[in-house]
Structure 1
Amino acid sequence: MKGGKKMRFRPCIDLRNGKVVQIVGGTLTRKKGKAPVTNFESIKSSRDYAEIYKLDNLTGGHVIALGPGNQEAMIDAVSAYPGGLQAGGGITPDNALRFLDAGASHVIVTSYVFSAGKVDMERLKLLVKTVGKERLVLDLSCRKRGDDFWIVTDRWQTFTDVTVNPETLARLSGFCDEFLVHGVDVEGRMRGIQTELVELLGKHAPIPVTYAGGVSTMADIDTVERLGQGRVDFTIGSALDIFGGTLPYAAVIKKMENSAK
């Protein structure tokens, strides 16, 4: 991770009931009749967004299924951009190869590994055996409680007993290629980032890591770069104009092209 690592913009495609959406992360729940707060639902398909990202040569983005009914839309996206997108949401050893074979560069896993509030090492080892460390991303999405950031599962509603700290990052880095970390408390709210979390990741993540949550201005992007020491990549959802927001997608692309020069 040393020696000229450049922060990258990682695009996203979030899916609910087969549709491309942007939601307020903390409102996602399994409760019947209680829908999450939705900022945006697109008339464009997951494939349409994948083709946009392919045209702009953006790699390492993620397609996330927010609940059931999204597998075909996930397949459509990763097959439209082979090797360009990661697939997550309900991934297990039984279905992981389907998404990889369809074109996903990696699979992203949370709940299968963080089971019953703990890291299930046997499950993690089985995943590594099934897909390979180099094609596995661990989702360490977290919420703040007290002074710490605690990994959450079950649609971000259930706290585990695992915190995102230097020890956790070091231990789990031996089993995956990257981390994806949503700051769930600010996800979809477009009110700024969780600066402490970005700083923690910048200092202590030993492998590539993508931060998601609250990025809504060019200044936020600059803050991620500064606090993350150029080592933390970022994604933007609800704030982008392609998802109904006000931050121009084209301007973000231009900014990243200029910073790469």
Structure 2
Amino acid sequence: MATDPFTVVPAVDLRDGEVVQLVQGERGTDRRYGDPVDAANRWLDQGATTLHLVDLDGAFEGKRVNASAVKAIVETVPEDVDVQLGGGIRTVEDAIELLDLGIDRVILGTAAVEEPEIVAAISERRPESVVVSLDAKDGEVVVEGWTEGTGLDPATAAERYAELGAAGILFTNVDVEGKLEGVQTEPVERLVDAVSIPVIASGGVASIDDVLALRETGAAAVVVGSALYEGAFTLDDALAALE
């Protein structure tokens, strides 16, 4: 997967067919932002080179729910823009189907924790196609839509997934996710130091300074949701600041 230069990746989180943002992943904290294709096109118009899609219903329910919205986005995105998708992907067959649909990378969270070998199985068939999502709350990897602790240390887990063939690690700091109060760089630095594959940071971005701080950690990219949707800064301005 591309890692250079560092960039900002807009999030398109899907619930009930709409774009939403949640505070710390809690159901009932939804802020809704309308049609997914409209959102995707807005970010493309502002220079996005990668889109980060999450089927939140799928993450909570353990099966893909927003397939029609995902398909509509994939059909509208130019070939030179990467699309990565997570949420409800539980089997090798799920992953291959999505890759065949036109998704560039699948993001595995719960499935990778429960069955680590799924990462190797997909990677063998489609190299560089799997990103493992490590969502951390109080320094512990959490799964099932951030509702269940695992006892896993994020850096230790990341090392294992790198050995299994993961193309990258998506690290979400649930402690600051969606709060628009700023990032914590130390946990990201720890993951970057632990693995040689790209680390994509997520959670807490409230300003362009946060974006720049995450670049300094050595992360490959940052996923931004609430800050863009709430107008804390524009994608145009963030990308310009990185130049």
Residue in 2 aligned with 1:84? 82
> Whole-Å Cα distance in 2 between the matches of residues 13 and 202 of structure 1?
25
Question: What does 1:82-231 align with in structure 2 at a 5 Å threshold?
Answer: 82=79, 84-91=82-89, 92-115=91-114, 120-129=115-124, 131-144=125-138, 149-165=139-155, 167-174=156-163, 175-226=165-216, 228-229=217-218, 231=219
The more displaced of 18-27 and 193-202 is: 193-202
2:56 aligned residue (51, 56, 66): 66
Q: Aligned in 2, Cα 1:6/1:20: closer, same or farther, shift over 3 Å? A: same
> Whole-Å Cα distance in 2 between the matches of residues 22 and 140 of structure 1?
19
| Distance apart, 1:247 and its partner CA | 1.9
Query: Which residue identity does 1:135 align to in structure 2?
Result: S
Taking structure 1 as the reference length, the TM-score comes to: 0.80
Query: Which residue identity does 2:66 align to in structure 1?
Result: N
> Whole-Å Cα distance in 1 between the matches of residues 117 and 97 of structure 2?
21
| Distance apart, 1:26 and its partner CA | 3.6
Structure 1 gap ranges (5+): 28-34
Q: Over alpha carbons, which structure has the higher Rg?
A: 1
- Per-residue Cα deviation, 1:105-131 (whole angstroms, up to 9, x for no partner): 11111111212xxxx2343333334x5
Secondary structure of the residue that 2:221 maps to in structure 1?
A: strand
Q: Aligned in 2, Cα 1:62/1:209: closer, same or farther, shift over 3 Å? A: same
Residue in 1 aligned with 2:62? none
> Whole-Å Cα distance in 2 between the matches of residues 55 and 239 of structure 1?
17
- Per-residue Cα deviation, 1:33-69 (whole angstroms, up to 9, x for no partner): xx4312x3122x2222323333444233310000143
Taking structure 2 as the reference length, the TM-score comes to: 0.86
> Whole-Å Cα distance in 1 between the matches of residues 110 and 170 of structure 2?
13
Residue in 2 aligned with 1:254? 240
Residue in 2 aligned with 1:41? 32
Q: CA contact under 8 A between 1:63 and 1:77: conserved in structure 2?
A: no
Residue in 2 aligned with 1:30? none
Q: CA contact under 8 A between 2:119 and 2:161: conserved in structure 1?
A: no
- Per-residue Cα deviation, 1:180-199 (whole angstroms, up to 9, x for no partner): 11111111000111222122
Q: Aligned in 2, Cα 1:12/1:152: closer, same or farther, shift over 3 Å? A: same
Task: Note if 1:238 corresponds to 2:226.
Answer: yes
Structure 2 gap ranges (5+): 59-64
1:75 aligned residue (71, 78, 88): 71
RMSD: 2.2
Q: Aligned in 2, Cα 1:212/1:121: closer, same or farther, shift over 3 Å? A: closer
| Distance apart, 1:103 and its partner CA | 1.6
